[in-house]
Chains A and B, each alone.
Chain A
Amino acid sequence: MSIPEKIGNYISGRIQALARMIFFAVKVFRRVMTPATYNSATRTVLINQIYFTSVQILPVFLLVSAVVGSLFIGVVFQALKNLGLVSLLGNVLMGLIVTELSPFFTVLLITLRSGAAINAEIAAMQVNREIKALEVFRIDIIDYLLAPRVVNGIISVVLLSFLFSIVLMTSGILFSRVIFGISTDVYVNILLNSTNFSDIVVALLKCAAFGFFITLIPIYSGLQATHELTSIPIVVSRGMVRVFAAILVIEVLSLLIRLL
């Protein structure tokens, strides 16, 4: 096979893989949006998933948010003061920290904790032929396995990202008072003046997109495992790389939407 043929085959394979993933994503999205999907078994799985992804890590998440958020806010506020850009405080706080940093930080935490776990779980089920067994018993794996995890991803990223923003804005009250001598009323007024509904809507949609893909891609990668145990680490690492690529793509797309 000549080099151009090899390159053509490689590109064709990649495009087909991407098309299969998009087709799979559309299929899962349609089932997620169908009320009939949510039977009692699906609801139980969904509750368990939300519990493991959000509720269980909530104290640690809030602690990390407070530490990282305060550090970031302190550095940014100090830089604004040194540059004489105090008037841009609200724009920086809402435009950079709340709409960009919060979703990004949240999605990174959830991907590292839950995305990898879901990927390994589905891959292990595939290796142990549990997914085949479910199909034999005529249990729909999209309803039972995929939909609850994807919905959990969307709910968890949106809610935790919002909590992260709340923690950041609260620590912003303290830092604005210490660094700029701004009272709470003025701080709230600055935030309100700098807040646009369109930014919030874009941030919420971005969080939902993050949540959808950081669970869908690990599931899709996990389902590609063969019946050998050695395939588990391969599909997990491949899935995580795809997830991080998807995060970057969503970030860029959201930035483009905000610019338009």
Chain B
Amino acid sequence: MPISREYKVGVFVIGTAATILLALLFLAAQKGFFQTSHTYTLSCRTGDGLAVGMPVVFSGFDIGRVHSLELDDKGAVLIKIRVPDKHAKWIRQDSFFVLYRPLIGAARIVVNTDHLESPPLAEDKIAEVYVVNDINDAIEKIQPLLETIERLSRRIDSMAAKTDEQVFGREGTLPQLNKILKDAAGKLEKLETTVDNLNKISKDAAEGTQDLGALRADIDEVAQTLNKVSRDIDALLYKQKKPEIKLP
């Protein structure tokens, strides 16, 4: 049996509308619309970053919302937060509240409770809110670093100026070095002449050495001749066998 057009439309409309309604009811239930809630009053020196509807967070979970903001007679900001019954157990007398404004993301009120066994916070008591501001913290952390960088920059500038004076100044290293180099160049020129002379002397000495060699050969020859003469004389003396020799 074919399904009629009316039936299909009816199923589509009723089904989708019912799903929307159920989703909204689920959302409402999860948001605590059907729950009774506690209203606590907090006090803060400034209203900067505060807004109605801002989440109240405990251990990273949303447990309530900022319901209203108003100024008291002394100029302090009174923050009324609404917390559903099921989350009221996290708020005790020793709980402290921090307005946390991160560098990125929405601001929130963070509840910190050290002792969960302490008595519940009375709704007529006004607790103080401390402000933690990531932007200011970041600026505070960066400020000393910036000052150090600035100081370093000034020192580097000063050192650069001194170095400039010492290296390039009238009495600086570079002009003196130039002067020394000029002197060295002059001395080197003189040294070159000396080296030339030395070369000449060395050449003459080499030539002299050759003459000495010939002289020594002559002396050797003379010595050999003398040696021979001596041996001849010795032989003659032996043949005479006379102890005394009468010299002419």
Contacts and interface: CB of A to CB of B under 8 A. Distances in A.
Contact of B16 (A162, A189, A192): A162
A55 B30 CA distance: 32
Interface of A is mostly: helix
Contact of A193 (B5, B12, B55, B104): B55
Contacts of B5: 47-48, 51, 55
B27 A58 contact: no
B9 A87 contact: no
B8 A51 contact: yes
Given A195-B27, A200-B27, 10 more contacts: A50-B13, A51-B9, A85-B104, A91-B106, A163-B16, A166-B19, A189-B61, A192-B30, A193-B55, A197-B31
A88 interface: yes
A58 B15 CA distance: 13
Looking at chain A, what size class is its interface with the partner chain? 20 to 34
A10 to B, nearest CB: 44
A221 interface: no
A159 B24 contact: no
The 4 closest A-B pairs by CB, nearest first: A159-B16, A192-B30, A50-B9, A55-B12
Nearest to A201: B24
Interface of A: 47-48, 50-51, 54-55, 58, 85, 87-88, 91, 155, 159, 162-163, 166, 189, 192-193, 195-197, 200
A10 B148 CA distance: 67
Nearest to B20: A162
A162 B28 CA distance: 17
Interface string B53-89: 1010000011000000000000000000000000000
Contacts of B16: 159, 162-163
Interface in B22-51: 24, 27-28, 30-31
Given A193-B55, A193-B62, A195-B27, A159 B13 contact: yes
Interface string B137-167: 0000000000000000000000000000000
Contacts of B13: 50, 155, 159
A196 B8 CA distance: 33
16 contacts: A47-B5, A47-B6, A48-B5, A50-B13, A85-B104, A91-B106, A155-B13, A159-B12, A159-B13, A162-B16, A162-B19, A163-B16, A166-B19, A197-B27, A197-B28, A200-B27
A162 B15 CA distance: 12
Contacts of A51: 5, 8-9
A151 B8 CA distance: 18
A238 B79 CA distance: 54
Nearest to A160: B16
Nearest to B15: A159
A132 B229 CA distance: 172
